[in-house]
Structure 1
Amino acid sequence: MTTAIEIPQAASNAPSALDAAYRRITWRIIPFIFVLWVLAWIDRVNVGFVKLTMLDELRWSDAIYGLGAGIFFLGYFFFEVPSNLLLQKIGARKTIMRITIGWGLVCVATMFVKTPEMFYFLRFLMGVFEAGFYPGIILYLTYWYPSERRAKAFGMFMSASAVAGVIGGPLAGTIMNNMHGLNGWSGWQWVFLIEGIPSIIAGIVTWFYLTDRPEQARWLTAEQRRLVVDDLARDGKSLGHREESLLSALKDPRMWVMILVYFCIIAANSSLTFFGPSVVKEVGFSNPATVGWIMAASYLCGAVGMVYNGFRSDRQQESRLHCGIAAALGAAGLAATAFLIHVNPLLALVAQTVAIVGTMSAIPVFWQLPGRFLAGTAAAGGVALINSIANLAGFGAPWMLGLIKTSTGQLSPGLFVVAGIEVCALLLILVFVPRFVRKAAA
């Protein structure tokens, strides 16, 4: 009788101790990388807000802006895979520190741009420095969370991009309104300066705060470290065989399906990021601070959507449809925005919010899919490769929208095209991504 009672009791206590260990990991890691991603996103997309006055002062066209906004992703393309492979080799702490300080310095330098060529160069350099951060954090979280807990972790981390929209818009608008002319600088110059300095400081803090692996985490007890390491090993076995060679992974059709799916999602996400404020301006709101607050409300909804979709995906142990349906919602919102922009301003802004919620909610759940068949070096390089190639959409989509806006005077045609691209994400998932069945693990 005693043995029969003690065995179930130990089994029931094990999940509680393991849950406690993951709660400690979450409270230690997620808030910090969340703040880093907020800073990265603000420094990446503040050009979307300074555009409201910067273009007029420098006498640039929307096509120049669209190319400069998008060329950021070329830096991503060329340097993302090397950066992620370096992270796996030397650790997250050194890699993230270098990345964060680098993009902060480039952001500050952007305040001095005078020519399109200088703008293009600094945007490319921003992409070079930031290239390894996003895929690096995705890889980093796989070191700390098993697959059934990752969508929540991804969602909490990635919702920082939405929160950055909540903070960044009003902040940029307030700076441009209140600091224009101070020290002889324009408001948009102050935006780059004020928003770049915190990233430099955060990069220095990273060196002292971040821990590379669970087995090195002295802020966990020895028992918690053992439980987490064992749980991660158990998870690896339950996923079955996964490719660990990057070269072999490149021959796997699933890798290229992942690239196409994410390409479609990023085309929409980058379009909303860099031209969302332009949509708000086109429906009749010209004050930078007002534009910022409207975008903040939309991104707050996006943050809620990302976290909720991640929690729901983990709870139901399903990623495929959670990603595809969210992308379809984003496409519907984009199409509705394009249709309503000159019909009903209020409904157009609601539609753009729906587009932001759907598109952003698809992203954290998407990153569950590559981990089903990639591990080790293939995971490090594969995640970076998917992100780098797919982010070429972040180069092409804003450039396309800028060209269409310059040639037609309207955003609607370009938004319809982007909506069509995003709905392809759902179609690709339904046709080419099979349902995942987890194998039993001892």
Structure 2
Amino acid sequence: MNLLSRSTFDNEPDWRLYNRIAWRILPFLFVLYVVAFLDRVNVGFAKLQMAADIGLSDLAFGFGAGVFFIGYCLCEIPSNMLLQKLGARFWIARIMVVWGLLSISMMFIQTPTAFYVLRFLLGMAEAGFYPGVVLYMTYWFPSCARSQGMAYFNLGIAMAGVLGSPLSGWIMQNFAGDLGLAGWQWLFLLEGLPAVILGFVVFFYLDNGPGQVKWLSPAQNLRVQEQLREERQRNQGQGADHRFRAAFVNKGIWCLIVTNFSLLCGTYGVSFWMPQIVRNLGVQSLFDTGLIAAIPFAVASVCMIVVSKHSDKTRERRWHGTLCVVASACGLIFSGLFHDNAYLSLAGLSLAMAGGLSAFCVLWALPGVLLTGTAAAAGIALIATVGNLGGYASPFMMGWVKDSTGHLEYGLYVLAAITLLGAVSMFAVPQLRGGARLAPGGRALKV
């Protein structure tokens, strides 16, 4: 089985080479992201029991869930600069061990204040993981294959929902009371441990980049290095800047920042509140809640692979990204309109997640084309930093709307409006105007 489409590459040897690389690193990065995303959003399930134990209102939960991203945003750009300097193997390993230990420590919180503090620290610890992996992709794959690479990585979000939601419900339902610990305490303990263990695995398994890796022949190492170097030179010749300051003045990067912000508002707004949304549909069992909450993520996992492969095959980003964002907004509106019908509401949430996660795959294939070198590292981190403020804003907004009106579906309408803004921004990326497509080497073609 080949992870990358044959039509993406100009010749079969390159296709086989990059599929070999894909099989070496993408499944491993996928597992890391499943663990990371689950540790990030399992607080949504923990709330179903934890809220009563520590006196947490809906508004307070929304603030605590979102404050994670304040710490995250403060540290993303410095983290990506350090990854580029110290190497991906060491830095990603450091990130995982520290965030795993902090995730486990969530089991000891007894007050809302402690909840806020640990969520903030968890955000600081995990900062740099996602943008670091995006940067790491540019070390291994040409731009024409990055949408597929990002799809397999982002599949971790969907799989965290597919596997993690039932798992979280099962842990809380079956471990409650064991050794004097509540179900939500077991949740943080058992789902935090894998991050610590995998952190040590990262250090021994992950390579910093092509050059001297033993699982490629010397000729293959050289081929990857030369091809990516030629691509960077082409991008620089066509206006892709490598200077650090370029990340902050590139109009295309700022369009992607707005799009990423809107998508993360929708993704995290739904992810953090999914268990409560499902509970409001009349589901009482924690395990059943997890199974139903997994449905939108399962649908998204299929759609994001299909969209990314087609985007890479046609080398078209603008319409693929824009239409996916619009679909996500429509799904949010549909779910809100039919909030009292379990089947239709879940169909809307499935469309929202499928559109949003598919759009991420297209969006994150672009920074390495717009910028190179240090500017690419800074630009990727900048997109993630400002965009992740959406992860703070949307859970807090959803909690405020729920407390103020008693209607969680009103929050979905607000998320839909924000998401539509992202569609406009994606459509407006200057480098994609006029039907620009990406040629095999990543350069833009006018068609």
If the TM-score is normalised by the length of the shorter chain, which range does it land in? over 0.9
**1:336 aligns to what?**
334
Whole-angstrom CA distance in 2 between matches of 1:61 and 1:275: 13
Paired letter, 1:381: A
Distance 1:126 1:264, change over 3 A: same
Per the normalisation by structure 1, the TM-score is: 0.94
Residue 122 (str. 1) matches residue 121 (str. 2): no
**2:424 aligns to what?**
427
Q: Which range is displaced more, 114-123 or 421-430?
A: 421-430
Q: Give the number of the structure whose alpha-carbon radius of gyration is greater.
A: 1
**1:186 aligns to what?**
182
Counterparts of 1:295-334 in structure 2, within 5 Å, are 295-334=293-332
Say which SS state the counterpart of residue 282 (structure 2) adopts: coil
Tell me the C-alpha RMSD between the 2 structures: 1.7
Say which SS state the counterpart of residue 368 (structure 1) adopts: coil
TM-fit CA distance, 1:401: 0.5
Say which SS state the counterpart of residue 363 (structure 1) adopts: helix
5+ unaligned residues in a row in structure 2: which ranges? 1-8
Contact 1:18/1:224 (<8 A) preserved: no
Contact 2:316/2:438 (<8 A) preserved: no
TM-fit CA distance, 1:251: 2.1
Say which SS state the counterpart of residue 318 (structure 1) adopts: coil
Distance 1:222 1:72, change over 3 A: same
The one-character-per-residue Cα deviations of 1:27-65 (angstroms, maximum 9, x if unpaired) are: 110111111101101111100111111112222110111
Say which SS state the counterpart of residue 245 (structure 2) adopts: helix
Distance 1:136 1:248, change over 3 A: same
Whole-angstrom CA distance in 2 between matches of 1:310 and 1:390: 21
Whole-angstrom CA distance in 2 between matches of 1:87 and 1:440: 28
Whole-angstrom CA distance in 1 between matches of 2:22 and 2:175: 38
**2:3 aligns to what?**
none
Residue 51 (str. 1) matches residue 47 (str. 2): yes
Paired letter, 2:330: A
Counterparts of 1:16-415 in structure 2, within 5 Å, are 16-239=12-235, 240-342=238-340, 344-415=341-412
Q: Segments of 4+ in structure 1 off by > 6 A?
A: 439-442
TM-fit CA distance, 1:163: 0.4
Q: Number of paired residues? A: 429
Whole-angstrom CA distance in 2 between matches of 1:218 and 1:200: 26
Whole-angstrom CA distance in 1 between matches of 2:247 and 2:79: 18
The one-character-per-residue Cα deviations of 1:196-249 (angstroms, maximum 9, x if unpaired) are: 111100000111000001113111011111221222123224433311112133
Contact 1:17/1:224 (<8 A) preserved: no
TM-fit CA distance, 1:438: 4.8
5+ unaligned residues in a row in structure 1: which ranges? 1-12
The one-character-per-residue Cα deviations of 1:138-170 (angstroms, maximum 9, x if unpaired) are: 000100000001111110111111101111101
Paired letter, 2:132: G
Contact 1:238/1:440 (<8 A) preserved: no
TM-fit CA distance, 1:272: 1.1
Distance 1:398 1:333, change over 3 A: same
Per the normalisation by structure 2, the TM-score is: 0.93
Contact 2:332/2:348 (<8 A) preserved: yes
TM-fit CA distance, 1:287: 1.5
Whole-angstrom CA distance in 2 between matches of 1:432 and 1:232: 24
Whole-angstrom CA distance in 2 between matches of 1:295 and 1:331: 19
Counting aligned pairs with the same residue, the percent is 40
The one-character-per-residue Cα deviations of 1:183-206 (angstroms, maximum 9, x if unpaired) are: 000001000000011110000011
Whole-angstrom CA distance in 1 between matches of 2:301 and 2:440: 34
**1:9 aligns to what?**
none
